[in-house]
Structure 1
Amino acid sequence: MLLKVCVVAVVLGLTLARPDPSFYKQHHGRQGHYRPQPYSFSYGVQDGYSGQNFGRKESSDGKTVLGAYSVDLPDGRKQTVNYRADPYSGFQADVSYTGHSHGHVSHHY
């Protein structure tokens, strides 16, 4: 009997705790899906001690994401990636390099 009471209490608790689906439709469009919001951010790191130098910036109007990031490579070049992403064209990236390679870079693992 105690088991039946516990099961009923758990089922009742889960039923009452379930959010009303109309709440999601009011605030997020389709149930369970959020509407994309415009945003913008950027950061950069330049650490003279370790030699790390990289950065990123990205923004969106809520439909299309535009961004770029760059990093200093171990061979002396700088790699820059400019990208665009949207629901129609997907993710498109343009990768470029500036500077000159210092030759072979050995890796120690």
Structure 2
Amino acid sequence: MNIFIIVSFLVVALGTALCHHHEHYFIPHYHFKYGVHDPHTKDHKSHEEHRHHDDVVGSYTIDEPDGSKRIVEYTAGKHTGFRAIVRRIGPAHHPHGSSFYGVTHWGFGSGR
């Protein structure tokens, strides 16, 4: 009986020593890219991003309603934080519209 207990203990001890628990570490890594170019709605934009470990690099562009284009290039990291460079290309065109200076909701404004 004592030998059975000793052998059982040795089997459990040997089995525990041979079975090492390994943690699986997942390294984040991805890359995506997309764009929209719709002449009907005039919706033009793009976005691209790449991540490897804790470092992210990306950019996006969008055609603004005023006719200019916004370009944003960014980086992000565990130790550097988020940093972006924003540029606007092209002149902004604003359409001329009607002026409602002096007009109130109830119609008693001067309208001039």
After superposition, give the CA deviation of every residue in 1:11-34 in whole Å (9 maximum; x if it has no partner). xxxxxxxxxxxx8x7234xxxxxx
TM-score of the pair, normalised by structure 2: 0.62
Secondary structure in 1 matching 2:24: helix
Structure (1 or 2) with the larger CA radius of gyration: 2
Task: Report sequence identity in percent.
Answer: 32
Distance, in Å, in 1 between the alignment partners of 2:47 and 2:41 is: 19
Structure with the larger helix share: 1
The one of 9, 24, 28 equivalent to 1:27 is: 24
The one of 44, 51, 55 equivalent to 2:42 is: 51
Is residue 2:50 matched to residue 1:81? no
Gaps of 5+ in 2: 1-20, 98-112
1:89 partner letter: T
Is residue 2:82 matched to residue 1:91? yes
Summarize the Cα distance change of 1:26–1:105 in structure 2 as closer, same or farther, 3 Å threshold: farther
The root-mean-square deviation of aligned C-alpha atoms, in Å, is 2.3
1:26 partner letter: E
**Structure-1 residue corresponding to 2:103:** none
Residue 95 of structure 1: how far off its partner (Å): 0.3
Summarize the Cα distance change of 1:88–1:100 in structure 2 as closer, same or farther, 3 Å threshold: same
Gaps of 5+ in 1: 1-22, 29-34
Residue 94 of structure 1: how far off its partner (Å): 0.5
The count of aligned residue pairs is 78
